[in-house]
Amino acid sequence: MTARIGVVTFPGSLDDRDTQRAIRVAGAEPVALWHKDKDLKQVDAVVLCGGFSYGDYLRAGAIARFSPVMEPLLEQAKAGLPVLGICNGFQILTEAHLLPGTMLRNNHLHFICRDQKLRVENAETAWTTDYAAGQEIHIPLKNNDGQYVADERTLDELEAEGRVAFRYVDFNPNGSQRDIAGVSNEAGNVVGLMPHPEHAVEPLIGTGRTDGLPFFTSILKKLVNA
C-alpha cells in the first residue's frame, strides 16, 4: 500500500497537475482535492500548490485561506497531518497562521523566474528527511510576492528552533529577511517555501536535475514507515 497525498485546486491554482505528477513520480498516489470539499478524503498528507488563487486579490492567499477545504485542513494540520505549501500554497499557510510571517511584493517589484540555489537548513521536517542538513539544491523559483517578512522576535525564534527550513544561497531574489526561502511549524509537519520542488523531479525538464524529488520521497517514506 502506498501513501495517498492530496493536492488542493483553488480557482486560479496553476501547478496542481505538476504537483500530482511529482507525487506519482515519487511513488505515491495523488488525490485531487477541490477548494469546496468539506473533507480531505482521508488522505495521508496534503500539498497546497502554486498559482494565483483568487487572482491574488486582497493579498496572495487571503481569500483561499477561507475556502471550505481549509477548515478540515487547519484542524488536521494542527493534529499532525503533514502539509506542504509551495509558493501560493506557502502564502495561504501564512494567511491561515499555520506558519509565521508573511510574503510581500518582491523588493524589486518584478516577477522573477529563475533556477534558484537553496540550502536545506532543516532535514528533519516531514518533507525534508531525504535531504542532508546543509545540502545545496537548485529549484525553480517563480513569483511576484516572495519577500518573506516577520518581526525580529519571530525571526529569532525561528532561527533558534531550527524552523528556517530553506535559505537562498548566493543571491537573495526578493529581499526576504535573513535569506529565508521556507519555514516549518513547531512540530515540523507543516512546511512552506516559495521555490517549486514539483518542477524539479524529472531529468528531462528544467535544469535536468531532480533536486525537488526528495520532498515527495521524504513524505512517502515517513507515511509508509508510520
Partner 1 sequence: MARVVVDVMLKPEILDPQGQAVQRALPRLGFDGISDVRQGKRFELEVDGPVDEAALARIHDLAESFLANTVIEDFTIRVEEVAEAVK
- The set of catalytic residues is 87, 196, 198
Give the shortest CB-171-to-partner 1 separation in angstroms.
18
Residue among 25 and 104 whose Cβ is closer to partner 1: 104
CA angle 31-5-188, nearest 5°? 150
Tell me whether residue 109 or residue 160 sits nearer to partner 1 (CB atom). Answer: 109
User: Residue 192: which of 63, 75, 94, 74 has the closest Cα?
Assistant: 94
Between CA 95 and CA 117 the distance in angstroms is 26
By C-beta, is 74 or 149 nearer to partner 1?
149
Whether 31 and 41 have beta carbons less than 8 Å apart is answered as yes
Least distance (Å) between residue 100 CB and partner 1: 8
Q: Is residue 78 classed as helix, strand or coil in its secondary structure? A: helix
Q: Which residues are CB-contacts of 151 (< 8 A; sequence separation ≥ 6)? A: none
Residues interacting with partner 1, by CB under 8 A?
58-59, 62, 66, 94-95, 100-102, 104-109, 147, 149-151, 175
Q: C-beta of 212: minimal distance to partner 1 in Å?
A: 28
Q: Which residue, chain included where needed, has cell 478540515? A: 72
